């Protein structure tokens, strides 16, 4: 009996020590998470709730706030400027997302099998470190129709008169898309390169032994195993493309006319040029739901083409 009581006492003492250690570890965990949680609440959740609340009002920043219900949403859905911004943003997304993904994947495939891939990775990633504003200013000079380096090179080397890259309404969105693809190439390439290096070499070797050529190995082996990485890059690229602003603001100011007038530029115009914060917030909420729906559709469709090994 005494032995049983002694064993129970030791067991209870051990359980108390474990509970104390668990509580202590939990407190340390929450302590390390606290700065991130505070930042999330202050810089994300509170602004998000404020935008939703402000979208139901009329306010110019100075006069009293007036509640108008869903009037701002109705006005935005009927606003020609909002329609133009949505069409331009979709056009930009249709160029940037597939173009950026295909080009970065090709670069990753080329870099994956060469020596010194770390050096190439750094070189391609360097533009990502630069701010979007500085990149836009550099490309604003490169694409200048009168004295830009691109048109000057076309004229001196090939005798071709360069196009009006940023002043032709037909070329302005493709021109901005080129800048965005170049700027984001290194980021996507690094992610694809990481995905390629995680593909088991035994699968490709087995396919080559069975007589598969390089294209068949890529299409049947590499691409399916790379589909989770491709899915991630696609989701992030679409979200970023719908939020394009810096390039259009610095390079074209939404012009010529409304040819590069995007959704976030529309928000900027309403909020900080017209000082109509209610309609601007309503447009922001609509943009939020557009991105949310597109992301939800991609997650719903991933079951059909994304392959998770194991």
**Statement: residue 4 has pLDDT above 60:** no
Side-chain half-sphere CA neighbours of 170 within 13 A: 2
Q: Are residues 154 and 275 in the same domain?
A: yes
Q: Are residues 110 and 195 in the same domain?
A: yes
50 within some domain: no
299 within some domain: yes
Q: Tokens for 52? A: 């939703």
58 within some domain: no
pTM: 0.89
56 within some domain: no
Q: Are residues 113 and 179 in the same domain?
A: yes
Query: How many structural domains comprise the chain?
Result: 2
Between CA 48 and CA 54 the distance in angstroms is 10
**Is the Cβ–Cβ distance between 89 and 262 less than 8 Å?**
yes
1 pLDDT band (50/70/90 cuts)? low
Q: Are residues 301 and 179 in the same domain?
A: yes
Of 130, 127, 165, 154, nearest in space to 251 by CA = 165
Q: Are residues 207 and 281 in the same domain?
A: yes
Q: Are residues 193 and 125 in the same domain?
A: yes
Between CA 209 and CA 212 the distance in angstroms is 7
Spatial CB neighbours of 164, under 8 Å, sequence gap ≥ 6: 145, 171
124 within some domain: yes
pLDDT 10s digits, 86-127: 999 999 999 999 999 999 999 999 888 888 778 888 888 999
Spatial CB neighbours of 7, under 8 Å, sequence gap ≥ 6: none
Range of the domain at 26: 2-45
Q: Given this model, what pLDDT does residue 105 score?
A: 94
Q: Are residues 186 and 294 in the same domain?
A: yes
Residue with tokens 């890259």: 165
99 within some domain: yes
Q: Given this model, what pLDDT does residue 67 score?
A: 95
Q: Given this model, what pLDDT does residue 19 score?
A: 86
Q: Are residues 8 and 152 in the same domain?
A: no
pLDDT 10s digits, 232-250: 999 999 999 999 999 999 9
Q: Are residues 110 and 23 in the same domain?
A: no
Residue 125 gets the label, from left (phi > 0), alpha (psi -120 to 50) or beta, of: alpha
Q: How many CB atoms lie within 10 A of CB 218?
A: 16
Q: Are residues 32 and 134 in the same domain?
A: no
Give the CATH number, domain containing residue 188: 1.10.3720.10
310 within some domain: no
Backbone angles phi and psi of 64, in degrees to 5: -60, 150
105 within some domain: yes
pLDDT 10s digits, 21-36: 888 888 898 899 899 8
Q: Are residues 76 and 133 in the same domain?
A: yes
**Is the Cβ–Cβ distance between 120 and 114 less than 8 Å?**
yes
Between CA 74 and CA 70 the distance in angstroms is 6
- HEC profile for the chain? CHHHHHHHHHHHHHHHHHHHHHHHHHHHHHHHHHHHHHHHHHHHHHHHHHHHHHCCEECCCCCCCEECCCHHHHHHHHCHHHHHHHHHHHHHHHHHHHHHHHHHHHHHHHHHCCCCHHHHHHHHHHHHHCCHHHHHHHHHHHCCCCCCHHHHHHHHHHCCCCCCCCCCCCCHHHHHHHHHHHHHHHHHHHHHHHHHHCCCHHHHHHHHHCCCCHHHHHHHHHHHHHHHHHHHHHHHHHHHHCCCCHHHHHHCCCCCCCCCCCHHHHHHHHHHHCCCHHHHHHHHHHHHHHHHHHHHHHHHHHHHHCCCCC
């Amino acid at each position: 009996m005494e032995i049983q009581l002694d064993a129970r006492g030791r067991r209870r003492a051990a359980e108390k020590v474990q509970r104390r250690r668990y509580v202590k570890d939990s407190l340390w965990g929450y302590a390390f998470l606290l700065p991130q949680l505070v930042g999330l609440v202050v810089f994300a959740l509170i602004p998000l709730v404020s935008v939703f609340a402000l979208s139901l009002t009329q306010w110019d920043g100075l006069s009293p706030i007036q509640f108008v219900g869903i009037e701002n949403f109705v006005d935005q859905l009927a606003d020609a400027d909002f329609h133009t911004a949505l069409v331009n943003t979709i056009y930009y997304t249709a160029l940037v997302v597939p173009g950026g993904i295909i080009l970065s994947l090709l670069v990753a495939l080329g870099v994956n099998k060469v020596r010194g891939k770390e050096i190439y990775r750094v070189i391609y990633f360097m533009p990502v470190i630069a701010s979007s504003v500085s990149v836009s200013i550099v490309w604003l000079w490169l694409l200048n129709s009168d004295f830009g380096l691109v048109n000057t090179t076309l004229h001196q080397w090939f005798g071709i008169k360069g196009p009006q890259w940023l002043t032709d309404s037909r070329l302005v969105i493709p021109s901005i898309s080129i800048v965005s693809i170049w700027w984001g190439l290194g980021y996507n390439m690094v992610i694809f390169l990481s995905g390629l290096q995680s593909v088991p070499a035994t699968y490709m070797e087995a396919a080559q032994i069975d007589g598969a050529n390089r294209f068949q190995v890529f299409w049947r082996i590499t691409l399916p195993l790379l589909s989770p990485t491709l899915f991630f890059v696609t989701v992030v690229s679409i979200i970023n493309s719908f939020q394009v602003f810096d390039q259009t603001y610095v390079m074209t100011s939404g012009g010529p006319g409304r040819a590069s007038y995007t959704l976030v530029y529309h928000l900027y115009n309403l909020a900080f040029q017209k000082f109509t914060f209610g309609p601007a917030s309503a447009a922001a909420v609509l943009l939020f739901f557009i991105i949310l729906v597109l992301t939800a559709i991609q997650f719903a469709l991933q079951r059909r083409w994304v392959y998770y090994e194991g």
